[in-house]
Structure 1
């Protein structure tokens, strides 16, 4: 060699230039199209495609990173709602779903599976993102959530809390004050409302502190997910979405949901092509609505991008550089509050879009629905794998030796594990 030699040296440790990040990048599309591929198969595929050999552990870590990169952060809020629904078929079982919220404030199905009644667990991979999990805190779900995600922000659905609370404390006073304490973003206002409830009945606050320790007020929500959901509306939407499908056999149910997701993603990808500008319609409409009727607000400017905004005896501090308002609405929602909007209008800044969190951009929305759900051939072309009778019994709820309850061969043909 006359020229400078810059090739890497081959050794037993593999090519050192092949990093975990590189592996994650090259296997992402394969995982999207082929589903869950084992590290061993990925290693052989990389060797055949790129002529590069590497240790098994490095491939394993690269695959895990690829799954993490495909997570929630790609194009949705880092918010997950969890719930379970009993299936309306003779095989029993529970449909468990994890739903998120896309940047246009619409439901986004993250994962779903069918479990046996006694195994209601959260089947979600560990994520490195800052995560918010919300559920009705069923006994099985609460235990699984705390074990899998001990350090994330745990929210409780307010309707679940309220339905329990009103059994012990009735009346318009408790109803009004509790919902006001739920909806306020300001910690001091939340504390004041709880004190009024306590003055009326100390047992009400003791009950909340003992039985509802998760986050249920917007005043206590974090500011990372830019989502202020404290209701189960997202999950109820999914429930109504698949209501008619819950009467189908398990395989038909799962396949029908898969088809609905394919149609949903295709609809979203077509819809986004009709949008213009930087922000999604949800954020644009918010800015248009909040810009109305600002005349009653008074701005006292203290510095270039800092001010006090007064309205009917209240006063809030606004800092445009830090995207903060003392009401906390801007920090929690990721969109300017009415006080911030008043100050922006006061300084005559026409570029309101720069004050909206990147969560609400069209580019982020596109990345959420860029994930491809691979088409699948019909059931008649699936390859059946044998299964033991014990598993059939669990699915059919029949005794293993009682063939009169359900025809075992029929169940085995219908409910077998399929490889595709």
Structure 2
């Protein structure tokens, strides 16, 4: 078991040397033993006792061996284990407790006069020969160190690149920008600077793979840098605005001029402050006002529903909702299968939706619970899973399928114990796998590799799976090792421990994104109630449709059984003792056990519907086909999923007609928060002008009309 002796240091500052390395100076130090299996919360508690501080306001950082230029942040248990692994052969290791709002770095520069200057101050020569002192963000200028630097996520890399570009006075554009890779290049003409980052082979961190050495454009930045958007200004001043609520726009513009050399006008500074204030205070005001009232209204109008709010220190509130109709529908009518997704909408940039959706008998999503959070961090996901666990009444084992981001797959068994089986979303796995393929390979080779992966996913037996993996290994040992590290028992039918019933991915992201996409920015109450209305309409529509079904199975399940039945009629069945039969399929003997609902081909066990071998036995022995189908595919079970209704909350908004029944919508159109692009249609009236000036006719000299409308007859010239 790995163990290191860590020297915890706090209260000092980093000093940057000429070669770019960092040295920690000053502060207080204590020693602590860190074992590999220690949880991050345990370490935080111990440090909190040492220094008598609240660790919520601090972050833990360390240096990699032989790299004193970039401080690595420990943000979860896996980061802590990785730190121990890096230093397990060292006598001691240094960790630094840094305040999140500061993270200050000082560079020591030795001049001719043997004086030392602060890293944030440089002297610039002006045209007239005088010197002008301006603060520049040198720490931002060194945020990106080069190839091999790792980041927690693509978003963290993009944020760092943004600051790096501002500090280094150049603009860039994205060539590729998605969840697995980001490529950017300088916008200056003929400048070859380019940077590319993607997932590391171990699929644990976002890493810079390629980066040009230097710019040829001179990195000349205009005084009004286009990267200095309103949101960037808000992100820069947010912490200062928290401490100084009366921070004036003119002071903001002055400080940005001094610190970054940017010349912003009053209007730009004011809008940046407006956005920062909104991000800082709106959620708190809503949490203390609207949300508690809304929670009580949910409980009153929908008894048995769960609605809870949590406001962690130093972050926005978290709001969890699970309506009684959804919980009962999942319990009685849906498979024990939940898909976990995080949804971001352009109209709700400050919030993310964490959703848990089930699947009904038709393979369509069934929303069970959702939460509104600040971000989809592991901490927020853990809180969401804990709320979900306390909400579900039965103790049946549940399979969870997600995209594997932020360590969520490891978190599921910790929260649900033996009742939770983690699964990797197949679509996400294929996308991540494709990103690992060598860019120099031909498209034909890449397609073959993806085909091998697909066959491995749907392989029902171990020998089929191993054959597919051997084909991948023959092409690339590195890709094969990456695939094995994703743990095949989380995605291959040959080894999967839970039950997916043939459902490998979900379209919940597209549906929820469509639900909450509006031209207006929604508050938490508006977003939650908009989702409530959509679910209410969906449940009503599907309930009405299912009332017209006459078959025992749902239409999609019935079609699948009929397709298998057509093939089953060509198979030979050999009767054996009791409920065990032998079915010959293309010279392959398959054993069917009717009593245990099993076939040696394993299709029956995986899908929940009889395979063609089992159907051949039923045809031979005159057994009822529908008696051996999973109940989750029956029309009766489908109707149970939608038998309950979500009740309206009429006093939240105005009523609107929804489908065939009247549903009270809770979404009142909010006030537009952003100025629309282009010139205003009409010039705003000046409130200082209260009296309009009357027209004076040039013909009769009377006020109230003009020459064109004058009724006085024209005089004849004499």
Shorter-chain TM-score above 0.5: yes
Distance 1:352 1:196 in 2: 39
Aligned partners of 1:86 and 1:92 also within 8 Å: no
Partner of 1:218: 493
Question: Who is 2:479 aligned against?
Answer: 204
Unaligned runs of 5+ in 2: 1-298, 309-323, 439-444, 655-672, 674-718
Structure 1 equivalent of residue 647 of structure 2: 374
- In the other structure, the counterpart of 1:269 is 543
Q: By percentage of residues, which structure has more strand?
A: 2
The match for 1:336 is 610
Aligned length, in residue pairs:
324
How many angstroms apart in 2 are the aligned matches of 1:254 and 1:220? 38
CA spacing shift, 1:36–1:340, aligned 2, 3 Å = closer
Cα distance, 1:116 vs. partner? 0.5
State the SS of the aligned residue for 1:372.
Answer: coil
Match of 1:137 in 2: 404
Q: Which has the higher contact order (CA 8 A, sep 6+)?
A: 1
- Give the secondary structure class of the aligned counterpart of 2:404: coil
1:294 aligns with 2:564: no
Which residue is 1:190 aligned to?
465
Structure 1 CA distance, aligned partners of 2:307 and 2:421? 31
Q: 1:100 to 1:69 in 2, by over 3 A?
A: closer
Stretches of structure 1 lacking an aligned partner (at least 5 in a row): 1-28, 39-65, 382-395, 397-420
Q: Could you list the per-position Cα deviations for residues 195-235 of structure 1 after superposition, in whole angstroms to 9, with x for gaps in the alignment? A: 33334443333111224566111222346x4622222x332
How big is each residue's C-alpha offset from its partner over 1:71-106, in whole Å with a ceiling of 9 and x where there is no partner? 733210000001112232365111111110012322
Greater shift, 149-158 or 260-269, is seen at: 149-158
Q: In the superposition, relative to structure 1, how do residues 282 and 30 fare at CA in structure 2: closer, same or farther (>3 Å)?
A: farther
Deviations 1:161-220 (A, max 9, x none): 222222333523322211111112223321232233334443333111224566111222
Give yes or no for contact 1:94–1:120 (8 Å, CA) kept in 2: no
State the TM-score, normalizing by the size of structure 1: 0.68
The answer to whether the Cα contact below 8 Å between 1:217 and 1:230 also exists between their aligned partners in 2 is no
Quote how far apart the aligned CAs of 1:109 are: 0.6
Structure 1 CA distance for aligned equivalents of residues 486 and 554 of structure 2? 39
| Alignment of structure 1 residues 50-61 onto 2, 5 Å | none
Query: Structure 2 length normalisation: TM-score?
Result: 0.41
Give, in whole Å, the separation in 1 of the partners of 2:500 and 2:628.
13
Equivalents in 2 of 1:317, 1:272: separation in Å?
A: 36
In 1: Cα distance, 2:301 partner to 2:400 partner: 25
* Aligned match of 1:403: none
1:164 aligns with 2:432: yes
SS at match of 1:284: helix
Task: Provide the secondary structure at the position in 1 that maps to 2:517.
Answer: helix
Q: Specify the structure having the higher radius of gyration (Cα).
A: 2
Taking structure 1 as reference, are residues 203 and 263 closer, same or farther at Cα in structure 2, changes over 3 Å only? same
The whole-number CA distance in structure 2 between the counterparts of 1:308 and 1:279 is 27
- Residue 156 of structure 2 is matched in structure 1 by none
Deviations 1:329-349 (A, max 9, x none): 101211101111122222333
Distance 1:168 1:247, change over 3 A: same
2:619 alignment partner, SS class: helix
1:116 aligns with 374
